[in-house]
A and B are shown apart, each in its own frame.
Chain A
Amino acid sequence: QSALTQPASVSGSPGQSITISCTGTSSDVGGYHYVSWYQQHPGKAPKLMIYDVSDRPSGVSNRFSGSKSGNTASLTISGLQAEDEADYYCSSYTSSSTWVFGGGTKLTVL
């Protein structure tokens, strides 16, 4: 149950787009259409932003989008805003009927 691999940090200016990658294996990310993305502000609980690779929960801005290719999933945030600055985590269902999270990516809005 190794953690999924994410870049430690990404940054972008307001209005720009950024993409965060999440790399796993064929036993998790590559094997299922069950990747989720979470946003977490300091001291708060994680918030679901994307589920099942590319679907958005009601109330989440359409500036957030998800995709997957092979063993790597991606979260793209377009039109960056100051409030997007947070930690982002990916998660996937696995072949062991468990879930695994990524190590997290700190997004800085310059």
Chain B
Amino acid sequence: EVQLVESGGGLVQPGGSLRLSCAASGFTFSNYWMHWVRQAPGKGPVWVSRINSDGSSTNYADSVKGRFTISRDNAKNTLYLQMNSLRAEDTAVYYCARRGYNILTGYYTFGMDVWGQGTTVSVSS
């Protein structure tokens, strides 16, 4: 079964740090771009960051650039998000998601076809 399981969320004070993990199983993790997407309570999803399959290329939303770092360990089938200088507005459920793949055509797509269950990050004093 294709699965993503996030962990590492919790309560942290403003200015603090947290590292999220996303354990992948059921597919060849090293073949896929991966994303982090967050969703504040009662709000829509917001894209946070993306990393390519071998970790050599990353992109970030302006709101987290310089504070968050996405990385991956393909040997451990795990995606990470290091979050520093956390702010109250970073409070959200954080999801990892896989770049889509069309089995029929053999092409990767720009959708996100597998999502984890999310891990909650609360930034408050």
Contacts and interface: CB of A to CB of B under 8 A. Distances in A.
A98 B47 contact: yes
Interface of B is mostly: strand
A97 B111 contact: no
Interface stretch (A9-17, A48-56, A73-81): A48-56
Interface in A1-50: 1, 3, 32, 34, 36, 38, 40, 45-48, 50
Contact of A52 (B37, B46, B62, B111): B111
A101 B44 contact: yes
B45 A52 contact: no
18 contacts: A3-B44, A32-B110, A34-B110, A36-B100, A38-B112, A40-B45, A45-B95, A46-B115, A51-B100, A51-B109, A51-B111, A55-B102, A55-B109, A91-B112, A97-B59, A98-B61, A99-B50, A101-B45
Interface of B: 35, 37, 44-47, 50, 59-63, 95, 100, 102-103, 109-113, 115-118
